[in-house]
């Protein structure tokens, strides 16, 4: 195992994936043929959300009797975890597969390890995240935040389709209120529940169809920007460290996978 500051490129058929382990183990690029699927620029690619997803309310959470504070990187809340701001180490790379890891550290108050895996095929990508503890149990979440282009190479805008069982009502503080409502029309910056697993389809008419799936039941859809659409499978809802804590224990790590599959139209 070695540290790495250089991008890692995977390829399968005409699909090419670039991972940047030095900058949060972010997917910097996903190209199908000559077509880039992920937005470039300041907010780009796809980053892992770990050890929490979305907003943790007012940067505070509890673990039993212990109370913890996190940096307010999206005041008044703490957002999207620390993994995206961390340099990861490379565990394994070959032509179409790779694995990376980092050890949890301040400002996260518990010791542990996060691993992210990538497996690319000609018509799909499987991503995995695992969170392990070195000792004490702690609540955690994991997921992904991709910035998909709304339009590909000047084509028509993507069409978004999904069937959710509920939508988490969003309060004025941008946190779920705890009330589940029937899904309402977008635009969204909202969390949806899919008890049978996440299944969201992006269709760029006459170009490409991409389906995001996960066995987990939570997905945040963010489409309030003109340039991009985010489909974010995750292991729990926003503020879930407080409202739906999933404990990582020495015998029960947190594991989540997602698959993106695509078909040319």
Half-sphere exposure of 247 (CA within 13 A, CB side): 9
Mean pLDDT of the chain: 96
Instruction: Give pLDDT, residue 172.
Output: 95
- Exposure string (b/e) for 171-187, b if CB count within 10 Å is 16 or more? eeebbbeeeeeebeeee
**DSSP structural state of residue 260:** E
C-alpha distances out from residue 100 to 91, 167, 243, Å: 5, 33, 30
Could you tell me where the DSSP H helices lie in 87-226? Answer: none
Q: What is the pLDDT of residues 145-167, one digit of tens each?
A: 999 999 999 899 999 999 999 99
- Please give the average per-residue pLDDT across 164-185, as a whole number: 97
**Confidence band for 84, pLDDT divided at 50, 70 and 90:** very high
Cα 242 → chain centroid? 19
**Which H or E element spans position 118?**
strand 112-121
- Exposure string (b/e) for 191-227, b if CB count within 10 Å is 16 or more? bbbbeeebbbbbbbeebbbbbbbbebbbbbbbbeeee
**Res. 33: pLDDT tops 60:** yes
- Please give the average per-residue pLDDT across 50-77, as a whole number: 97
The 3-state DSSP class for residue 244 equals coil
**Which H or E element spans position 242?**
helix 240-243
C-alpha distances out from residue 55 to 79, 108, 132, Å: 4, 15, 21
């Amino acid at each position: 195992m070695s540290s790495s500051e250089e991008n890692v490129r995977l390829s399968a058929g005409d699909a090419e994936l670039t991972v940047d382990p030095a900058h949060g183990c972010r997917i910097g690029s996903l190209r199908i043929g000559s077509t880039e699927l992920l937005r470039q620029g300041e907010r780009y690619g796809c980053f892992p959300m770990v050890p929490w997803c979305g907003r943790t309310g007012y940067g505070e959470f509890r673990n039993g009797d212990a109370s913890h504070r996190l940096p307010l990187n999206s005041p008044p809340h703490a957002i999207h975890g620390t993994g995206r701001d961390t340099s990861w180490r490379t565990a394994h790379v070959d032509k179409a597969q790779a694995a990376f890891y980092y050890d949890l550290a301040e400002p996260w108050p518990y010791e542990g390890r996060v691993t992210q895996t990538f497996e690319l095929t000609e018509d799909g990508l499987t991503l995995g995240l695992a969170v392990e503890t070195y000792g004490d149990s702690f609540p955690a979440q994991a997921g992904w935040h991709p910035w998909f282009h709304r339009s590909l190479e000047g084509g028509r805008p993507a069409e978004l389709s999904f069937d959710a069982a509920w939508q988490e009502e969003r309060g004025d503080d941008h946190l779920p209120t705890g009330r589940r409502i029937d899904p309402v029309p977008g635009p969204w910056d909202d969390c949806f529940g899919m008890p049978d697993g996440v299944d969201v389809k992006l269709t760029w008419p006459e170009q490409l169809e991409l389906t995001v799936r996960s066995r987990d039941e939570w997905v945040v859809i963010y489409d309030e920007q003109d340039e991009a659409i985010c489909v974010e499978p995750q292991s729990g809802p926003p503020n879930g460290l407080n409202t739906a804590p999933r404990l990582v224990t020495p015998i029960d790590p947190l594991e989540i996978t997602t698959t993106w599959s695509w078909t040319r139209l």
